[in-house]
Structure 1
């Protein structure tokens, strides 16, 4: 029979291993759920890159609109021959995602305010009454709000987008002084991509939501 101290130590190790496995499993499940929830934003982001490549005549080698991995999506293309093409490809997701997200949030804001699901109040938060609409209408509203927010979150350029655009700028500015005119915009893209680590992308999506409510005449703040 094992000594009591050794038995206690083995039991502690066993319990710790079980707890670690459970936490790791829950973490994996949560990661998968978050990846699936964010998928529409990734798809629109990569779609914008792909469309920009086709519009500028830049050949695409491979497109992955969504996958479980890092990065969650990507577009591999040939090196753009013109700086303008590289710039358009780099900033396309910001423009496309913003327009699509804002459109979805506009419809969402109009729907929830006209049906009485959300009513602006004088308090900090608006009044929410899920029972003011049918389940189908409520589900549609939730889907619109979710799509608008996740697509808006992915409007920001990725670090890879910013690095690629900055590399193009550094390589071409001596040969084409006009590239210097684009440097302020490139710096903004680079800073914005870094700010995503500070949840600035989430704040941007929330800002689009607040703007949508203001446009439909029901400002939340």
Structure 2
């Protein structure tokens, strides 16, 4: 088989083009991933703070806390094994309550701010920045309200171990199922929809913003 110089040039150019394209795609993907992680900083911090606060509230020793990092998982709280089931339950579901309330307050402040401003079109640069920050906090914190799969695993393991001794533990099984389903649906944007739902409820208290 004879390959002329022109053919080699075309093949080489095609290979180089594919390498450059792949590098560009990977680079863009990495940038988007980094931007998304940075967008979620407030939500992750509040989520992990809720776990830590719940541990301290029920008397479970906290061993290590990472409020945010760029690796996986983005945040975590390592704690001692709770002695009672209700302590496990409180620590596991605390982010749902804390993040939901925090996101609601952020959206409520945003709705009040927009109502006071009168018209976002006539708002100053500083007012727009404030509105964007409040919206960012509401979305980021709200979308991290769902307890993680790890939280569900802890509840499920404890439920399986204790339901015979204490049948009331079975009442928490629906909560475990909801957590698993919520994490599964997060791939379809359920966490974003939940955060937006919190915003809709908060705005309903104040009234529609004037754009």
Shorter-chain TM range is over 0.9
| Post-superposition CA distance 1:53-72 (Å, at most 9, x none) | 11111111111100001110
| Post-superposition CA distance 1:195-220 (Å, at most 9, x none) | 22221111001111111111102289
Out of 195, 203, 207, which is 1:213 matched to?
203
- Residue equivalent to 1:32: 34
Out of 54, 57, 60, which is 1:55 matched to?
57
- Residue equivalent to 2:136: 146
Whole-angstrom distance in 1 between the partners of 2:173 and 2:9 = 66
Whole-angstrom distance in 2 between the partners of 1:217 and 1:4 = 69
- Residue equivalent to 1:71: 73
- Residue equivalent to 1:8: 10
Whole-angstrom distance in 2 between the partners of 1:76 and 1:148 = 26
Whole-angstrom distance in 1 between the partners of 2:192 and 2:116 = 26
Whole-angstrom distance in 1 between the partners of 2:33 and 2:177 = 31
Preserved contact between residue 60 and residue 80 of structure 2 (Cα < 8 Å): yes
User: What does 1:15-26 align with in structure 2 at a 5 Å threshold?
Assistant: 15-26=17-28
Whole-angstrom distance in 1 between the partners of 2:198 and 2:133 = 16
Whole-angstrom distance in 1 between the partners of 2:208 and 2:21 = 48
* Structure (1 or 2) with the greater helix fraction: 2
| Post-superposition CA distance 1:80-111 (Å, at most 9, x none) | 11000000001000000000000000010111
The gaps in structure 2 that reach 5 residues or longer are none
Range with bigger deviation, 174-183 or 150-159: 174-183
Preserved contact between residue 210 and residue 219 of structure 1 (Cα < 8 Å): no
- Residue equivalent to 2:91: 89
Out of 183, 192, 201, which is 1:202 matched to?
192
- Residue equivalent to 1:168: 158
Whole-angstrom distance in 2 between the partners of 1:50 and 1:156 = 16
Range with bigger deviation, 176-185 or 104-113: 176-185
TM-score normalised by structure 2 residue count: 0.93
Out of 163, 178, 185, which is 1:188 matched to?
178
The secondary structure found in structure 2 opposite 1:178 is: helix
Alignment partner of 1:137 is 2:139: no
TM-score normalised by structure 1 residue count: 0.89
